[in-house]
């Protein structure tokens, strides 16, 4: 169950500013604080949006847990916030920061890897992936830091589900304790490119971003299939600050914050995401027929697009 991607990584991480030359007035600036796994996708789409609207898009990317913390503690107050955990955004931003969101894309969990490594070649030989990861030297497998990022706690949840699915006791402990935990989600796959890591528990689109092979996991483990929602919900992860995330199908949602500096541009950008389904899929994400889907008191411009299918 392997898939190779052809797209090369653009190398856009952290924070950035993109826009049309000369259009730097305050009214034309749009700030976006988003899940790190969307860094490449939103940079590309942000450039297109900026060129079309003669605007400047300021993007900043972190694990979604960090994104929510920054908004809650006032460190950042963007126009648009984007989360890789739909329920987390609702739990932490409603009702103080927003009263609506729209789910616009989905993803799946799997393994990005280097085929030039021993672990990668074993994955390609169809050896059971969980045996490959169990035997990996310390630090050869990377995962995102679960205290900072849904990708990290989904990796833990997946390993817990896999224990039951395959009947392999101790799988979660063995793999997670020996894994390198990357605190900066956009850099999760950099270690594979430099040769420091062999495999990473990753989202599909991130492997596409980096041009790395992607080993697909069964639907029961990859958080992609709504039909498996009840099974996903049997696992949970509680962060050190007390937030409990229960397993669920993996989707992204976006909102414009109450009191945003540029709410009109923010709504335009979210609408642009809803109109960019083909581009999102080309960037390794998924936009199944159930999306987009709004929640709460969404603006009329968003509601119209959702009702019209994006």
CATH number, domain of 88, equals 3.40.190.10
Same domain, 102 and 158: no
Residue 136 clears pLDDT 50, i.e. is over it: yes
Q: pTM for this structure?
A: 0.91
Residue 132 DSSP SS3: helix
pLDDT bin (cut points 50, 70, 90) of residue 309 is: low
Tens digits of per-residue pLDDT, 39-60? 999 999 999 999 999 899 999 9
Same domain? 118 vs 227: yes
Residue 1 covered by a domain: no
Q: Which of 3-17, 29-43, 130-144, 243-257 has the lowest mean pLDDT?
A: 3-17
Mean pLDDT to the nearest integer, 134-139? 97
Mean pLDDT of 164-173: 97
The counts of H helices and E strands in the chain are 14, 15
114 lies in the same domain as 240:
yes
Q: Are residues 16 and 76 in the same domain?
A: yes
Residue 3 within any structural domain of the chain:
no
- 71 and 129 share one domain: no
The reply to whether 2 falls in a domain is no
Residues 202 and 81 in one domain: no
Domain identity same for 226 and 262: no
Say if residue 24's pLDDT is above 70.
no
Residues 94 and 189 in one domain: no
CA quadruple 223, 59, 208, 302: dihedral sign: positive
The two tokens of residue 178 are 């020996």
Residue 225 has what pLDDT?
Answer: 97
Shared-domain flag, residues 101 and 118:
no
Sign of CA dihedral 128, 131, 137, 143: positive
Who contacts 101 (Cβ-Cβ below 8 Å, separation ≥6)?
86, 89, 90, 253, 254, 255, 294, 295, 296, 298
* Same domain (yes/no): 88, 150: no
Give the chain's domain count.
2
* Claim to verify: residue 240 and residue 255 sit in the same structural domain: no
Q: Tell me the residue range of the domain where 265 lies.
A: 9-106+250-307
194, 228, 245 - which closes a domain:
245
How remote is the C-alpha of 11 from its chain's centroid?
16
Task: Tell whether 113 and 233 lie within a shared domain.
Answer: yes
Domain boundary residue, one of 245, 262, 294:
245
């Amino acid at each position: 169950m392997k898939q190779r991607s052809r797209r090369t990584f653009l190398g856009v991480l952290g924070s950035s500013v993109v826009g049309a030359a000369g259009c730097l007035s305050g009214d034309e600036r749009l700030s976006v604080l988003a899940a790190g796994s969307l860094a490449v996708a939103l940079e590309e789409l942000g450039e297109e949006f900026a060129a079309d609207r003669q605007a400047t898009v300021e993007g900043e990317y972190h694990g979604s847990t960090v994104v929510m913390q920054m908004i809650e503690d006032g460190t950042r107050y963007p126009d648009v916030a984007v989360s890789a955990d739909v329920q987390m955004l609702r739990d932490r931003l409603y009702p103080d920061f927003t009263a609506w969101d729209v789910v616009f894309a989905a993803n799946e969990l799997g393994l990005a890897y280097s085929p030039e490594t021993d672990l990668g070649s074993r994955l390609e030989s169809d050896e059971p992936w969980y045996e490959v990861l169990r035997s990996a030297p310390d630090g050869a497998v990377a995962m995102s830091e679960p205290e900072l990022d849904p990708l990290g706690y989904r990796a833990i949840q997946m390993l817990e589900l896999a224990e039951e699915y395959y009947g392999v006791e101790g799988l979660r402990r063995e793999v997670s304790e020996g894994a390198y935990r990357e605190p900066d989600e956009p850099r999760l796959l950099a270690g594979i490119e430099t040769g420091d890591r062999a495999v990473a528990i990753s989202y599909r689109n991130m492997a596409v971003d980096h041009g790395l092979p992607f080993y697909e996991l069964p639907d029961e483990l990859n958080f992609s299939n709504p039909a498996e929602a009840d099974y996903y919900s049997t696992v949970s992860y509680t962060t050190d600050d007390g937030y409990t995330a229960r397993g669920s199908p993996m989707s992204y949602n976006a909102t414009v914050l109450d009191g945003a500096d540029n709410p009109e541009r923010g709504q335009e950008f979210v609408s642009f995401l809803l109109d960019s389904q083909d581009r999102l899929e080309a960037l390794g994400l998924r936009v199944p027929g159930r999306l987009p889907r709004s929640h709460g008191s969404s603006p009329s411009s968003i509601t119209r697009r959702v009702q019209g299918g994006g």
